[in-house]
Structure 1
């Protein structure tokens, strides 16, 4: 191989090396800063293909997506000086690349550690001015909103990151007090249950007594009405019978005698001892009744 060809090859390799160290690509999901001997000269490199001076400029890339920092559970004291174990997390993203690099040297784990400390400080301050009821349920949403607002200002100023959201995953009582709190809550619930049960029994007795009284009144009224209707019916029937029999007393006497004969001679074993001229045999002597 000639010296000229060797020179050409060496030049091509040198150009390729320079090109590989001069060109770089920033993705849509990345943020980057350009350094010149360690000093930030371009704090916000846009996505795309860019050029740098080899051995002079250096490019540091960061994840531009929303990241999650999961803080360790911490013990905080409420307004009543009651201890709570609060487990929280936050969502953040790099907003100021220059400040982020200066504060964390571009280390995401360091940024998460610093942000986690500030989250715990914010939670400690917010929990300290609220009661347990307010922290757990009453003002929990307001608590998260206040922490996110305050933390975002501090994080943006000190770390160059924007806090998107802060959430509490779990709130527990410390193990040393959870048992006593559980026993107290259980006793309170049992007391409340007994009160409700006694009130229910009292109400049931009142309803049962009112129902029995109403049943007695209804039965008495029904019996009174039945007797009245029955008396009116008997009176009306008697009047009808009297009116009917009064039209022909002889026919009534005849039918009554036939009924008496039927009842008297219905059983062959019956024996009657009567005078022959007894009025019982009146209609046996003739259809006119022996007249």
Structure 2
């Protein structure tokens, strides 16, 4: 799509070389402008037509049309302005262009999905690693506290048992009894008279 603005500046030359009314000039000018646009458009890419070279295209068309109407038989007109308003592909090419555009958009979408999936895996891996580090640190701290508690308990036991060795022996026997027969259904078969296991039980009254 295009349009051209023109005016008659020499009526005698116009009537002599073009015709008696404006329609004659418009018809002939339409052919000249269309041919000039076709020639200039064929020299350029679509990117040039819709970007930096658009103004250059229209200036070149105006120059060519002006040279045509002021040739050996001047038309008696001035070309004021020439503008292109739209450039389309033919239908057979349009489908191909749309197909390439769609394929490109799909490629970009697939690339974005792949990138997102990779980033998601990275985030999950980092989260798992941080969880393992946190659990390991917590276990280490818990073991440290437990060790400190056991050490403190052993110190207290040592002090208490050091004051009364017989009580210490009796207390350890109670722990042994608890570990051996401390659960429902436990059965222990021993000779209480000859086994050292119940020795503290037999002697408990004398140590009370």
The question of a shared fold, defined as TM-score above 0.5 by the shorter chain, is answered with yes
What 5-or-longer segments of structure 1 have no aligned partner? 1-86, 258-274, 283-289
The structure with more strand, counted as a fraction of residues? 1
1:87-135 Cα deviation digits (max 9, x unpaired): 3210123344554455456633333233223212322332343455555
1:99-118 correspondence runs (5 A): 99-100=13-14, 102-104=16-18, 107-118=21-32
Of 118, 122, 128, which residue of structure 2 is paired with 1:210?
122
CA distance in 2 between partners of 1:106 and 1:118 (Å): 19
Alignment size in residue pairs: 169
Other-structure match for 1:145 = 59
1:246-285 correspondence runs (5 A): 278=204
Of structures 1 and 2, the one with the larger relative CO (CA 8 A, separation 6+) is 2
CA distance in 1 between partners of 2:30 and 2:67 (Å): 15
Instruction: Report the Cα offset of residue 239 of structure 1.
Output: 3.8
CA distance in 2 between partners of 1:94 and 1:247 (Å): 125
Instruction: Report the Cα offset of residue 222 of structure 1.
Output: 1.2
Please state whether the residue corresponding to 1:171 is helix, strand or coil: coil
**Is the Cα contact below 8 Å between 1:91 and 1:164 reproduced in 2?**
yes
Other-structure match for 1:75 = none
TM-score calculated relative to the size of structure 1: 0.45
Other-structure match for 2:150 = 238
1:124 aligns with 2:33: no
Of 88, 96, 102, which residue of structure 2 is paired with 1:184?
96
Instruction: Report the Cα offset of residue 151 of structure 1.
Output: 1.8
Instruction: Report the Cα offset of residue 219 of structure 1.
Output: 1.8
Please state whether the residue corresponding to 1:165 is helix, strand or coil: strand
TM-score calculated relative to the size of structure 2: 0.59
What 5-or-longer segments of structure 2 have no aligned partner? 172-200
Please state whether the residue corresponding to 1:159 is helix, strand or coil: coil
Mark the CA change 1:117 to 1:194 in structure 2 (over 3 Å): closer, same or farther: closer
**Is the Cα contact below 8 Å between 1:95 and 1:156 reproduced in 2?**
no
Choose 1 or 2 for highest CA Rg: 1
CA distance in 2 between partners of 1:170 and 1:222 (Å): 64
Mark the CA change 1:121 to 1:217 in structure 2 (over 3 Å): closer, same or farther: closer
Please state whether the residue corresponding to 2:28 is helix, strand or coil: helix
Of 162, 172, 179, which residue of structure 1 is paired with 2:88?
172
RMSD after superposition:
3.7
The structure with more helix, counted as a fraction of residues? 2
